[in-house]
Structure 1
Amino acid sequence: MGRERKFVVSETSIGGGEPIQTEVLVIGAGIGGIYAVHRCLEEGLGVVCLEAASHVGGVWHHNRYPGARVDIESFDYCFHFSPEIYRDWQWSERYAAQPELFRYLEYVADRTGAIDHIRFNARVVAANWKPADAEWHVRTDTGTSYRARFVLMATGNLSAPRPPAFEGMESFRGQIIETSSWPGAGVDWRGKRVGIIGTGSSGVQAIPVIAKDAAKLTVFQRTANYSVPAQNGPMQADRHQAVIDDVLAERARMMDSYAGINALIREVRPSTDYSPEEQQAALERQWQEGGQGMMAVFADQQTNPVAAELVSEFVRSKIRQIVRDPITAETLCPKGFPIGVRRLGVDTDYYDTFNRDNVELVDVKADPIVRITPNGVETASGEHPVDILIFALGFDAFTGAIDRAGIRNEKGEAPTDRWRRGPRTLLGLMIAGFPNLFMVSGPGSPSVLVNLMLMNEYSIDWIVDCIKWLDAKGARTIEATVEAEDAWVEEVAKTASHRLAARIPNWMTHQGEDGSRAFIPYAAGLKAYRVHAEGCVNAGYAGFRTSR
């Protein structure tokens, strides 16, 4: 499929010299970066994309851990902007695995021609706004410099790994691996003692696969998380064909929904509308269906503590049914927070894995990790010998990649300097005081609450249309006003106020040093967000300031 692959330019082959001039500089060649380059080319904009890794793919390049796969059905989790690309790529599974997702993103980058405008092995270390030039001056770790009128941060919400910080790590004689940067050459854990720290979404996918061939797998769990079966299988040809028949209509239908995920587009009623027997029947049907639909069995489960506990206890009951040892089962049951507050795991045989004789669960709340030793992991109760130690600790969500790019405005401020009480953006797209700097699906947008494929398409379409509008207007720069940013921060907080997830500490909430708490994504969903974003455009980009 696709055109013949050309030589891929690594920035190490470019070298230093005079700054390279471009109209748009895209940072990151994952889902958003690929589409951003395509849209810029489509509109005749000069564009260069910088990618720190050696390939496209973003998280689907780095997250090569065993069992890694998408948790949204494949026919949703793909680009919808091109009916031809959608038709010509055939998914093999309902939930595509990492190798297939990686090949897909390579295919789209080739097919659109975006690949020719991406510079690999180019990590951005500094980006400074120069008002005299009305340009961003950007430098990479190879010493190559760029000058660009616009910078698009397509670095993703979950791309900056949270580094492990345990005493004694340097003394460990075995192999240390992070799921977020799995070695490209692979890892041979067959017949070895493996320890894995972390039972979030990466952990619940990796643990069943590793357990099959490891001599022993020791799972160190800090917080039990909810997970539901994927019920994965071959791609359902009829459902895929139904989209192929009119891809753009499907795109519009999904854009007009809360999350842009088919499993969540359905008529549901509050839990109180059902009898207890009907409630259990609905939950059982969803368990057998599998996937993210467990987040929307009842209309009120994200806002009503009673409804949330109903769904949560159903999942706990399934854990107790599956896991034969009652103590292990109870340790695996999430407590103290309802389903939906933290990221829901979508797994294959996760809970059943703890019935294996070679798998041990260590509850590090009851038996905390003291240090990493030369031979393994020492907890309060003693040492657990391992040959391979895997960290599945997740990401420095939302802001990590922004902070690491060394962005500074004319005052020397970083984008997050004023974020002590939570992220401050306008529509999750721009930050006051940072002209011509755009974020793709940034904090204050629906971002991680919705289908990020669609969210990236929508954000980038908005950004490219804005650049075209500026050119038609004869304006050189655009930035958010402080007043509009303040108003949007209040709107984001208002839409989250009724959600249980905004009241309980989790990775989607910002915890201020003063005790404040702010829910980071825009919680009203994609459809409501589009009303605001398009209303802004229709009002002549209200809330933004332009200059010539």
Structure 2
Amino acid sequence: MQEDLMLDSRQTAPVAARNPVPETLDALVIGTGVAGLYQLYQLRNLGLKAHACDTAGDVGGTWFWNRYPGAKFDSEAYIYQYLFDEDLYKGWTWSERFPSQPEIERWMHYIADKLDLRRDISFSTTVTAATFDEDRQVWRVRTDQGEMIETRFLIGCTGMLSAPLEDRFRGQSSFEGMILHTARYPRGGLDLAGKRVGVIGTGATGIQVIQTIAAEVASLTVFVRTPQYVLPMKNPKYGPDEAAWYKGRLDELRQNLPNTFTGFEYDFEHKWHELIPNQRRAILEEIHADGSLKLWLSSFAEMFFDEAVSEEISEFVRQKMRDRLKDPELIDILVPKPGDYGFGTHRVPLETNPHFPSKA
């Protein structure tokens, strides 16, 4: 018998011990993702009495909560790292160019343990109120554990997408199947074999889910509002040679990453109007074949402010998508139409399957 499942849940059990928040602090950090851990480390190095708290049961931030099928980097792993400590950087080795969530979460644990941060973190602790006392120049912070903290500095590292939208559709309360949200996917995962599954949305997360579970479920229906410009991902495995290659580039990356347009290792280096059409096409083909976000972030900056350039690059990507999809019905549903919006003006997803799901 098929079971219905609609991908929307919030149930993720805490896994780390909870340390109480001290009553007085120099600095309180909210969140222990990539930014929160770095803030806690730097504040302690300044000699401040610093502490962090997180609703989650362990470190990781987005990589604690987003454990849905197919969750992975679409930034190259070796640039998604801290660069301030050579031993810390070189002490971790990635298994592939774009690793999956479990490996990323293990890396976050490695950071917390190497920097001895856990002793100054309260997990399973949510800030419920924060009021600034103008007279005393301190923050008075309350948590859901009943704690009241006074701190000189309050630093929010909660991210811009940390609160999932719930109850968005009429009739959700009467749906008899399971509703899950990818940002609160159950920690132990789910057995989707034999299930009838609906996925709402074909953004970066939706695509990762769809391509991962399509072969496992009994049936899959994808609900599409806005077609996305999508690029193929190339994700080679890393062995000792590849690890030595990127670890040997630490000084280069330290110099380069803070000075590019996007913080990636590559940047816009071509001028559209200085090239003839064949040269432009050759560059687009070469960058597209890289299998990364490079076409979006380092091809031609003119696509963001010159409508004609935007349309030509957009049509290039649309044709690449048509060539991969082949099915006219899927092309009509999943490929943006001319005049909808330009390539790169929305966040660009990567896909790793040779074809999109057979039914949308």
The alignment's TM-score, normalised by the length of structure 2, stands at 0.90
| Residue in 1 that maps onto 2:111 | 108
Question: What does residue range 128-147 of structure 1 map to in structure 2 within 5 Å?
Answer: 128-147=131-150
| Residue in 2 that maps onto 1:68 | 71
Kept in 2, the 8 Å contact 1:30–1:59? The answer is yes
* Aligned-pair identity (%): 34
Matched, 1:287 2:295: no
| Residue in 1 that maps onto 2:18 | 10
Matched, 1:337 2:328: no
Q: 2 CA distance for matches of 1:187 and 1:61?
A: 16
Paired residue secondary structure (2:355): helix
In the TM superposition, residue 249 of structure 1 has moved relative to its aligned partner by 4.6
Q: Which runs of 5+ in 1 are unaligned?
A: 1-6, 362-548
Q: 2 CA distance for matches of 1:164 and 1:232?
A: 36
| Residue in 2 that maps onto 1:79 | 82
Paired residue secondary structure (1:300): helix
Q: 2 CA distance for matches of 1:99 and 1:166?
A: 31
| Residue in 2 that maps onto 1:45 | 48
Q: 1 CA distance for matches of 2:150 and 2:17?
A: 19
Question: What does residue range 301-312 of structure 1 map to in structure 2 within 5 Å?
Answer: 301-312=303-314
In the TM superposition, residue 273 of structure 1 has moved relative to its aligned partner by 2.8
Paired residue secondary structure (2:317): helix
Q: 1 CA distance for matches of 2:16 and 2:100?
A: 25
Question: What does residue range 371-382 of structure 1 map to in structure 2 within 5 Å?
Answer: none
Q: Deviations over 1:407-433 (max 9, x none)?
A: xxxxxxxxxxxxxxxxxxxxxxxxxxx
The 10-residue stretch of structure 1 (161-170 or 95-104) with the greater mean CA deviation from structure 2: 161-170
In the TM superposition, residue 237 of structure 1 has moved relative to its aligned partner by 5.3
Q: 2 CA distance for matches of 1:215 and 1:81?
A: 48
| Residue in 2 that maps onto 1:156 | 159
In the TM superposition, residue 8 of structure 1 has moved relative to its aligned partner by 4.8
Kept in 2, the 8 Å contact 1:27–1:155? The answer is yes
Q: Deviations over 1:59-97 (max 9, x none)?
A: 111110111111110111111111101111000010111
Letter in 2 for 1:10: R
Question: Cα distance 1:37–1:240, how it changes in 2: closer, same or farther (>3 A)?
Answer: same
Q: 1 CA distance for matches of 2:17 and 2:50?
A: 14
Letter in 1 for 2:112: A
Letter in 1 for 2:217: A
In the TM superposition, residue 226 of structure 1 has moved relative to its aligned partner by 1.1
Kept in 2, the 8 Å contact 1:48–1:117? The answer is yes
Question: What does residue range 410-489 of structure 1 map to in structure 2 within 5 Å?
Answer: none
In the TM superposition, residue 240 of structure 1 has moved relative to its aligned partner by 4.3
The alignment's TM-score, normalised by the length of structure 1, stands at 0.60
| Residue in 2 that maps onto 1:194 | 197
Q: Report which structure shows greater RCO (CA 8 Å, sep ≥6).
A: 2
Kept in 2, the 8 Å contact 1:83–1:244? The answer is no
Letter in 2 for 1:326: P
Kept in 2, the 8 Å contact 1:66–1:206? The answer is yes
In the TM superposition, residue 225 of structure 1 has moved relative to its aligned partner by 0.9
Q: 2 CA distance for matches of 1:250 and 1:314?
A: 31
Q: Deviations over 1:113-146 (max 9, x none)?
A: 1111110011111000012221100001121111
Q: 2 CA distance for matches of 1:203 and 1:114?
A: 33
How large is the Cα RMSD of the aligned pairs? Answer: 1.9
Q: 1 CA distance for matches of 2:284 and 2:242?
A: 23
Question: Cα distance 1:219–1:70, how it changes in 2: closer, same or farther (>3 A)?
Answer: same
Kept in 2, the 8 Å contact 1:320–1:330? The answer is no
In the TM superposition, residue 280 of structure 1 has moved relative to its aligned partner by 2.4
| Residue in 1 that maps onto 2:299 | 297
Question: What does residue range 141-290 of structure 1 map to in structure 2 within 5 Å?
Answer: 141-235=144-238, 238=241, 240-245=243-248, 247-262=250-265, 264-265=266-267, 267-270=269-272, 272-290=273-291
The 10-residue stretch of structure 1 (59-68 or 227-236) with the greater mean CA deviation from structure 2: 227-236
Question: Cα distance 1:157–1:163, how it changes in 2: closer, same or farther (>3 A)?
Answer: same
| Residue in 1 that maps onto 2:317 | 315
Q: Deviations over 1:339-359 (max 9, x none)?
A: 11111001211x7133x3xxx
Matched, 1:325 2:327: yes
Kept in 1, the 8 Å contact 2:16–2:57? The answer is no
Aligned with 1:24 (options 17, 24, 27) = 27
Paired residue secondary structure (1:26): strand
Q: Deviations over 1:131-169 (max 9, x none)?
A: 222110000112111110101111112222222411111
In the TM superposition, residue 299 of structure 1 has moved relative to its aligned partner by 3.3
| Residue in 2 that maps onto 1:530 | none
Question: Cα distance 1:165–1:280, how it changes in 2: closer, same or farther (>3 A)?
Answer: same
Q: 2 CA distance for matches of 1:240 and 1:267?
A: 27
Letter in 2 for 1:195: G
Q: 1 CA distance for matches of 2:251 and 2:24?
A: 35
Q: Deviations over 1:171-198 (max 9, x none)?
A: 1111110011111121111121100011
In the TM superposition, residue 314 of structure 1 has moved relative to its aligned partner by 1.1
Kept in 1, the 8 Å contact 2:230–2:321? The answer is no
Paired residue secondary structure (1:301): helix
Q: 2 CA distance for matches of 1:258 and 1:325?
A: 37
In the TM superposition, residue 327 of structure 1 has moved relative to its aligned partner by 2.0
Kept in 2, the 8 Å contact 1:95–1:232? The answer is yes
Q: Deviations over 1:264-314 (max 9, x none)?
A: 3352222x3333333222222122111111112223122211111112111
Q: 2 CA distance for matches of 1:99 and 1:342?
A: 27
Kept in 1, the 8 Å contact 2:137–2:152? The answer is yes
